[in-house]
Structures are given as C-alpha cells and as structure tokens.
C-alpha cells in the first residue's frame, strides 16, 4: 500500500534537491558526456529527463556496458538502474553506420517481470529516443492483443521490452519477428523473473536466441545463429541471490560485477579496480559464478528511508490501519478545522492494482497513481518491483511480505534517488520474530508511536482529546472505530459478502508462507475470530470459520483427486499469467 502526499516540486526545488544529493551518496561527480555518451543523448537526458549528472550506479555501469562486457548489477532500489542500461544501448545504436532500420529487426531485448514495469521502461525509452527517430522502441506483454503485437514485430522494433511468457510465445509463433541482429539481452529485476517461475521460459528464450553461452543443450541452434555482433547480456536487481546464480552462469560470460560486496564472494572473485571510475565496487568474476547467500547477504535499502513497524493484534488491524492513514493524510494540515480534515480523508483518491484486474483497468490505475497528487494505492506485489511512481511518501505493508527480498523491493517504492520516504510494517504480536529475520539481512526497524498518534485524535467530534491510554485493546478511539466499521459492514450486504470472501483469501494467503517463514507466520496460531474482526465481520468466528474449513476440506479433497504436483504447477502458472 503506497500513499502520495506532496505537490509536484517546482523545477528549482527539484534542482535544489538534486544539488543537495550530489554531495550525498546518490550522484557521481562526473558528467554523462565524460562517461562516453553521445552529446545528443546527453542533451536528451538533461532536457527531456531533467538529469544533470549520472547517479553512482550509472557512472559505474555505463562505461562497462559501453565496453561490451557482460555485467551483473546490484544497486539499491531507486538508484537509476534503468538509464544505466538503456543509455549505453542507445548510444551504440545511434552510432551504427549505416543507420539501423526497422527492417533490421530487434537489436536489444529488455526482459522484465511485470506488465507495469514493461510500460514504464518503454516510456523512458520513448523519451530518450525522441531525437533518434530511426531507433524504434516497442513492448510486448501478457494481456495485450497478440495480433497487434505481431503486426508491430513484423514492422520491426529496435529495442524491445517484454515479459518472458509473451516473448516466448512470439519467438515460437511469430515467424516475422526478426532477431538475427540481436546484440543485447537485459534482465531487469532478474531474481523476480526467476521467482515467478519463468526459469524454463528464460532458458528456452536464451536457446532460441542463441545466447546461452554454455549451450550444451541446443548447440545446433546456437551455431546456426547468424550474427555479426558479439552478444552482451546484463542482469540487474537490488536483490541478487542464489536464484540468479544459474541464470548468471548460463547467460553471462566473464561478467563484470557492479555493486557486489566482494568480501562476501571470496574466493570465487578476483578483485579488479576500474581505476578511472574511482569505485571500489567493481569486480571481475571468475568461473564459477557464485552469489552471496540470501541468508547473510545485506540487501540494499535507501539510507534515508525511515523504516518502522507497528505491533497490532489481529482483530484491530483494520481500525489501526485507518487511524494511521487518517494521521498520514492530515499531518501538516492540522490548522484546518476538523470537518475539513475529515473531507480530505474521505476525499482522498483510492486506487487499486492487482493481477486479477483487466489489463485496461491495470493500465488506468497505474497511470492515475503516477499523476495524482494525493492518492492511496492498494496493491498486491504486482507493484512491488521496479515501479517508479513519483513522490510516493509512505509504504504500508499491511500484510507481511514473506522473504526479506520482497520487503526490500516493497519499501523501495519510496525514498527513491535520495528523496525522503517512510515505511511501516504491520506485525501481529505472534509475528514479531520477523524483525530478527530482517536483522539477519542488515535491516533494522524502529517502533511506530501508535498510542501517541491515537491519543492525538479528538473523540465524539469534541475538542477533547483521548486521555492517555496505555493499552491499544482498550483505547476508546480504536474501540469506537471498530464498532463503526462493524455497523457499516452489517448494514451493507454487498460489503459483507466482500469481507467474507476477503477473509477466506487472506487466510489462504497466510497459509501459503513458505520455508523458514512458516515458523513465524503460523496459520495454526491465527485466531479466526480475530481475523474476522479485522475485516469488520461481527459473525461468530465458527460461522465464518466453518465455511472456510468446509472450503479447505473440499479443496484438499480435490487436490488429492487431481494430484498435488499438478495443482502446484497450475497455481504457479496462473500467477505468472496474472503478472
């Protein structure tokens, strides 16, 4: 859940904040042109994107990618990885003599895990290519019209952004998709692509494109592949872990590592300083590739991000969430009369984004949240990776994220590029061990002053504020709000139905925690009555519980009949289709 609450900064304030950041750890003290990029491209970066200087990761990655080496990039969320790979590709393509044409087909392929990220990278591309009209950007992704995509591929797309499933579909079935000139394959959010279960698809894509460097399998395809250019592959993410190991092995040849902690990677790495780049973060990798283990790897969270947690018993979660949102939306405007504040809260635009929505609705929500000044986005992990919504100030993880990697990417939607940002993680008392799990990855959270915030609210429309209460469970504000919520649900049959459905999905999702996390998020420890209360359901827990239990039993019976493995395969496939 992400909230926005600030005016778009004026150009001066943007420049000012950038100047401040230049001193910090975000920007490099060099120019884009000193990295070897063409003057027109540098102009585009300045004029169209408003980028004065490269970020550190751009300063490190651009020259290396220009040199033609395979690269593995690990840098914090919101540090400018997109331009770090797009700029060198555009530079090389615009230089090509004779000029490339649409009929030459695809030269660069950017693989991304989600549709929204696909659109976002495409938008950046469009801006950067404004003055290089002969280089054609394009995208293909799940949920779009296949035949329209086929027609675009037939005409030719020089730089293609794609989600893996749809790309493979076209590689298999669109004979007019020309990729014999392919020179770059970029895996943006590489670990997520694999986590979604696209491993096999990626291997097949690499085989078809003849870009698998240990291609023991489809050697024939690789050998028959006609290309004048050497291949260059780049893998990027804020969280690289063992899952990327195999992909790195099969797709990167003698890669340069950017941003990886070499001490953690000894003895398989040999240190190689890139002198003029002035960084101690570049390493050359020897075979075999070995990633740091996710259990001891410290993930990169923006230093200026304020990370907090709030401990709330299950039944009060919804009331507390609304209270925190009220505080968030009203903060800084406390001079306004209570009624006006109430209007602000009620009038705040709420948007939703999840994989079960129609593609068109997803697109609308995505664009709307980009442009709205004051808005609340309710989202699943579809929005957790790579999305760059400007001015997101607050990330609330109402439902726990699972692995620490996901935590890092979710909070990474705020505090981008040195901007301020806050994150808040909801935990139930029985889930507090999750904080230790995050600690193992070098992530520390402080406690959110919930009672202090609740105490600041006026009760019963009176000026009188709540007297200091030491216990959340007996806090009059929370009790009052909970009562109001329950009355609302009771009076609205449609809402009640929704709440019951959501209750069931929530418990199912809770039960889906995997591996180590099952120890922390134990479905057995859940009090279903309290869970029901968290959806403002007044019903006897056994009532709601029974219907859920009935459904679970039925599901288990079905699973048994169909065979468990089949079922698992199905759910992963369904998830990928939605993503």
Ligand X SMILES: Nc1ncnc2c1ncn2[C@@H]1O[C@H](COP(=O)(O)OP(=O)(O)OP(=O)(O)O)[C@@H](O)[C@H]1O
Distances from the Cα of 107 to the Cα of 103, 184, 570, 577, angstroms: 11, 7, 34, 26
Nearer to ligand X, 54 or 137 (CB): 54
Smallest distance from the beta carbon of 27 to ligand X, in angstroms? 7
Q: Which is nearer to ligand X, 78 or 255 (CB)?
A: 78
By rule CB under 6 A, what count of residues binds ligand X? 18
- Kindly state the smallest distance separating residue 512's Cβ from ligand X, in Å: 25
| Shortest reach from residue 386's CB to ligand X, in Å | 4
CA distance to 156, 236, 241, 502, per residue, from 191 (Å): 29, 8, 7, 29
Cβ distance to ligand X smaller for residue 82 or 423: 82
How far apart are CB 28 and ligand X at their closest, in Å? 9
Report the alpha-carbon distance of residue 506 to residue 180 in Å, rounded. 47
User: What residues numbered 335-394 form the site for ligand X, per CB under 6 A?
Assistant: 386, 388
> Residue 226 Cβ, how far from ligand X at the closest point, in Å?
33
CB 140 within 8 A of CB 170: yes
CB of 235 to ligand X, least distance (A): 13
Nearest CB to ligand X, comparing residues 416 and 475:
416
Stretches 48-56, 262-270, 339-347, 429-437: which one binds ligand X (CB under 6 A)? 48-56
For residues 386 to 425, the per-residue mask of contacts with ligand X, x marking binding by CB under 6 A and - elsewhere, is: x-x-----------------------x---xx--------
Q: Which CB atom, from 390 or from 563, has the smaller least distance to ligand X?
A: 390
**Among residue numbers 535 through 574, which ones bind ligand X (CB under 6 A)?**
none
- Residues 534, 526: Cα–Cα separation, whole Å: 12
CB of 389 to ligand X, least distance (A): 9
State the Cα angle at 434 between 505 and 555, rounded to 5°.
Answer: 25
Q: Interaction with ligand X in 196-255: which residues (CB under 6 A)?
A: 238
Determine which helix (DSSP H) or strand (DSSP E) holds 85, and give its type and residue range.
helix 81-95
Closest CA to 236 of 188, 299, 185, 292: 188
Q: At closest approach, how far in Å is the CB of 353 from ligand X?
A: 16
Nearer to ligand X, 234 or 507 (CB): 234
Nearer Cβ to ligand X (81/166): 81
Q: Which two tokens stand for residue 135?
A: 């280089």
- Between CA 227 and CA 404 the distance in angstroms is 41
- Give the whole-angstrom CA distance, residue 132 versus residue 146: 27
Which residues, 6 or more positions from 446, have their beta carbon under 8 angstroms from its beta carbon?
307, 308, 309
Quote the DSSP letter at residue 175.
T
Min dist CB 456 to ligand X, Å, is: 33
CB contact set of 354 (below 8 Å; sequence gap of 6+): 379, 380, 382
Nearer to ligand X by Cβ, of 75 and 316: the residue is 75
Looking at 2-80, list the stretches that DSSP marks H as alpha helix, in order from N- to C-terminal side: 11-23, 39-47, 56-66
Among positions 50-89, residues that touch ligand X (CB under 6 A) are 51, 54-55, 58, 75, 77-83
Please say which residue, 61 or 316, places its beta carbon nearer to ligand X. Answer: 61
CB neighbours of 435 closer than 8 A, spacing ≥ 6? 309, 427, 445
Residues that bind ligand X in the complex, under the rule CB under 6 A: 51, 54-55, 58, 75, 77-83, 238, 386, 388, 412, 416-417
């Amino acid at each position: 859940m992400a909230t926005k609450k600030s005016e778009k900064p004026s150009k001066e304030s943007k420049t000012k904040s950038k100047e401040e950041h230049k001193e910090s750890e975000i920007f490099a003290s060099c120019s884009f042109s000193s990295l070897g990029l063409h003057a027109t491209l540098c102009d585009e970066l300045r004029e169209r994107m408003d980028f004065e200087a490269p970020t550190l990761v751009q300063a490190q990655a651009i020259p290396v990618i220009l040199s033609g080496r395979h690269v593995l990039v690990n840098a914090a969320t919101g540090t400018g990885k997109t331009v770090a790979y797009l700029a060198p590709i555009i530079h090389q393509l615009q230089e090509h003599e004779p000029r490339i044409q649409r009929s030459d087909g695809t030269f660069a392929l950017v693989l991304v895990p989600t549709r929204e990220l696909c659109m976002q990278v495409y938008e950046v591309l469009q801006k950067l290519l404004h003055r290089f009209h002969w280089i054609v950007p394009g995208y293909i992704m799940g949920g779009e019209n296949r035949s329209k995509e086929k027609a675009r591929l037939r005409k030719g797309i020089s730089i293609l952004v794609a989600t893996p499933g749809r790309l493979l579909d076209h590689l298999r079935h669109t004979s007019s998709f020309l990729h014999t000139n392919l020179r770059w394959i970029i895996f943006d959010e590489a670990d997520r692509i694999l986590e979604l279960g696209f491993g096999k698809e990626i291997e097949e894509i690499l085989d078809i494109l003849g870009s698998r460097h240990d291609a023991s399998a489809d050697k024939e395809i690789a050998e028959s592949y006609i290309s004048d250019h050497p291949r260059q592959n780049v893998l990027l993410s804020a969280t690289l872990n063992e899952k990327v190991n195999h992909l790195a092995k099969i797709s990167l040849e003698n890669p340069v590592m950017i941003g990886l902690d070499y001490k953690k990677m000894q003895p398989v790495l040999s240190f190689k300083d890139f002198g003029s780049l002035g960084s101690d973060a570049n390493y050359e990798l020897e075979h075999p590739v070995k990633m740091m283990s996710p259990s001891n790897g410290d993930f990169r969270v923006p230093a200026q991000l304020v990370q907090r947690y709030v401990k709330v018993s299950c039944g009060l979660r919804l009331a507390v969430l609304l209270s925190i949102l009220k505080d968030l939306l009203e903060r800084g405007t406390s001079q306004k009369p209570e009624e006006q504040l109430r209007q602000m809260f009620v009038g705040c635009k709420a948007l939703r984004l999840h994989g079960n929505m129609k593609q068109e609705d997803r697109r609308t929500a995505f664009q709307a949240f980009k442009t709205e000044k004051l808005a609340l986005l309710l989202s699943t992990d579809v929005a957790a990776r790579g999305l760059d919504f400007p001015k997101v100030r607050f990330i609330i993880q109402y439902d726990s994220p699972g692995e620490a990697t996901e935590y890092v990417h979710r909070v990474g939607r705020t505090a981008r590029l040195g901007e301020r940002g806050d994150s808040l993680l909801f935990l139930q008392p029985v889930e507090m061990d999750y904080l230790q799990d995050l600690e193992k990855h070098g992530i520390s959270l402080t406690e959110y002053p919930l009672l202090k915030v609740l105490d600041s609210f006026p009760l019963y429309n009176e000026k009188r504020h709540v007297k200091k209460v030491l216990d959340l469970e007996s806090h009059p504000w929370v009790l009052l709000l909970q009562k109001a919520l329950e009355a609302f649900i009771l009076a609205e049959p449609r809402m009640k139905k929704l709440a019951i459905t959501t209750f069931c999905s929530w418990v199912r999702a809770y039960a889906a925690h995997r591996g180590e996390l099952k120890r922390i998020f134990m479905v057995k420890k859940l009090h279903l009555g309290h869970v029901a209360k968290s959806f403002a359901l007044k019903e006897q827990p056994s009532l709601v519980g029974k219907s859920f239990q009935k459904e679970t039993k039925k599901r288990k019976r079905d699973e048994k009949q169909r065979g468990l493995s089949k079922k698992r395969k199905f759910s992963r496939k369904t998830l990928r289709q939605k993503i």
